[in-house]
Every structure is written in C-alpha cells, then in structure tokens.
Structure 1
C-alpha cells in the first residue's frame, strides 16, 4: 500500500512539473467584435497559435490586433490579443488563443496590427476552425507600426 502511494505521488509530481514547463498557454479573448451581428451569423470557435520569432525583441508591450475571414465577408476581429502584464509574445515563444466569432467558410485572409514602440516579429499564425483544415500564415517580418499587415489569398466571389 505504501509503495502505491509513493508511485502515485511521483506521478502527480511529474504531471504538475511537466504541465507547468510548457511555453504554450491558452489565453481566452475577452472581447470579439465582428462585422456581422451575433443574431445574423452562427458562432464558431477558433484556436490561434502564434509563434514569435527568435529574432523578435525580447518582449513587447505593443497593442496587437488580429482580423481574419473568408471571401464572403465573414470576419473575426479582435481589437486586442496582447496583454502587457503577461508574458505574451516573448522571443521564441508560442501563444495559443481561443476565440469565438461568426462561422467562416474558408479562411483566406489574416491581418495583424501592432501599435506601440517596442516592435514585434511574429514567425507564423496558425488558425484552427471547426470543420475546416488549419491554415498557417507565415510572417517572419517585423510588423510595421500602426498598419494592418498580412495576407489575402481570397478569390473574388461573384
């Protein structure tokens, strides 16, 4: 009986130790604004994984916004995904966010906006949506200040 307690205690200790050692953390967004009213569109959940480049400044206190959507005009817009009091967007880190917004058919564009004086260099942004394959947008460039910067791979819908 004593041996089982020791084994169980060690298992719990290692589980807690390893679960605290990961650099990826889930930070739910508090405020999501979209260009469609919540009553007009179904709501879907998205997971964003943002990797910060190892050549980015050590940390940023800059305000970071994100917008992504599809060719039909459905868009998820988060005016602030940063948190200056936390350790988000540090050099070589990966941050994961859970957000809700209107359901998007196929994500074909993604833009980031940074406002501040610290600077920030995202390596990539990966978006996982419900019932859709994940899509990765590779940045690996220092974001300009105060300008939406990103990718639009949408085909025009007639």
Structure 2
C-alpha cells in the first residue's frame, strides 16, 4: 500500500512539474496599438513555431502571414512573411513548422498574427517552443481579420510562471513529508 501511494505521489509531482504552459480560453483579439517597431534586432535564440491551419479554412491561401510573440519583459520576436505559396504552407487541415530567430525571451505570454490578402485564413492553433521557455499553445480557431495584428496578450498573468514554480515546490515539500512519514 505504501509503494502504491508513493508511486501515485511521484506521478502527480511529475505531471505538475512537466505541465505545458497554455493560453487561456479567452478569444483572440485585435490589437490596434501593437507595434513591431519595438522589435529588437538581436538574433541569439531560436524558436520553433508550429502553426496548425483549421480544417474549416480555405483550401489554401495566398495571403501574406506574419507572426510576432514575446514575453512580459519586452523581448519581442518578429518574423515577417512566413507564408510561401510555393511550399503549400497554410493549407487546410495541415501543420507547418517554422524556425524563427530573435532575442532570448523568458516565458512567452503574447502572440499576434498579421494577415493581408484576398483569400482569408483560419489557424486552429500556434505552438511556440523556445530555449528558456516552456512550450505554449495559443488557440485561435477563427478567421484572422485582414491588415491588423490579431491574437493574445496574456502578459498581465506573467506571474503565473512563478506560481507554477511555487506549485511544483509545494508538491515536492508535501511529497517529502509523506515520504518521511512512510519511511
């Protein structure tokens, strides 16, 4: 019985520690004040963006797509024109992976997409992986309006990454107390 309890506690600790940062269920919003002129020209870190296009999007798009994301400390990453019709990027029901370089950031807490063109495009989600940050997924599942930055800014909750660390620490303390009682 003690071994089973110990195994259960270890699994819980692992789940809380390795949990992926996720965006909230709030809908994406247009941000007329978002400005890419604050983008830093330093390119010392690499990020992977996996963009999944919805199955209810148009079959393909010729639209020009740009992406910008960053952390609560002013580190902004910007990639203009990630679209490339010759590679069949952003086709319906597909995922496209992009390597994007920019300044090193902490936990990514905002992401915006910019679309211009005649076709329209409906991303389902965008997942960002980085060196100093846990993977984070932003769920769109809506058509991106033309000629405006559209997305999520969850930076007001930037302290949530600290809360996750505190939660993990608390799990380990409880696990240690339980182990000391069991031994």
Deviations 1:61-109 (CA, angstroms, capped at 9, x unpaired): 0000000001111100111100022210000000001111100011000
Larger % of strand: which? 1
Aligned to 1:106: 107
Q: Structure 1 residues 156 and 51 mapped into 2: Cα distance closer, same or farther (>3 Å)?
A: closer
Q: Aligned-residue CA RMSD in angstroms?
A: 1.8
Once the two structures are TM-superposed, the CA of residue 155 in structure 1 deviates from its matched residue by 2.0
Decide which structure has the larger Cα Rg and report it: 2
> Partners of 2:128 and 2:154 in 1: how far apart?
14
Taking the aligned partners of 2:147 and 2:86, their CA distance within structure 1 comes to: 21
2:153 aligned residue: 152
Deviation at 1:34, TM superposition (A): 7.1
1:36 matches 2:37:
no
How many residues of Structure 1 are paired with residues of Structure 2 in the alignment? 122
Give 1:153 deviation, angstroms.
0.2
* CA distance in 2: counterparts of 1:66 and 1:125, whole angstroms: 10
SS at match of 1:155: helix
Quote the Cα distance in structure 1 between the aligned partners of 2:70 and 2:92: 27
* Cα distance, 1:51–1:156 mapped onto 2, change above 3 Å: closer
- Name structure 1 gaps, 5 residues minimum: 1-32
> Which structure's residues are more often helix, by fraction?
2
Q: Distance in 1 between matches of 2:38 and 2:47?
A: 14
Q: Is the 8 A contact 2:40 2:102 kept in 1?
A: no
Q: Which residue does 1:90 correspond to in 2? A: 91
- State the TM-score, normalizing by the size of structure 1: 0.73
Task: Please give the alpha-carbon distance, in whole angstroms, between the structure 2 residues aligned to 1:114 and 1:84.
Answer: 14
Query: Which whole-Å deviations, capped at 9, do the CAs of 1:101-120 have from their partners, x for residues lacking one?
Result: 10001100000010000000
C-alpha change, 1:141 and 1:60, in structure 2 (3 Å) is same
Moved over 6 A (4+): none
Q: How far apart in 2 are the matches of 1:111 and 1:136?
A: 12
Structure 2: unaligned runs, 5 residues or longer: 1-36, 159-183
State how far apart, in whole Å, the 2-side matches of 1:156 and 1:129 are. Answer: 19
